[in-house]
Amino acid sequence: MLRYDRIRRRSPWVKSLTGLSREEFEELYARFEPAWDEAERRRLS
pTM of the model: 0.64
Which residues, 6+ apart, have CB-to-CB distance to 15 below 8 Å? 21, 22
pLDDT at 1 over 80: no
Q: Where are the domains of the chain?
A: 4-44
Q: What would the pLDDT profile of 13-41 be if each residue is shown by its tens digit?
A: 889 988 999 999 889 989 999 999 999 99
**For residues 1 and 21, what is the distance between their CA atoms, to the nearest angstrom?**
21
- Compute the distance between CA of residue 45 and CA of residue 37 in angstroms, rounded to an integer: 12
Query: Is 90 exceeded by the pLDDT of residue 2?
Result: no
Is the pLDDT at 3 greater than 90, yes or no? no
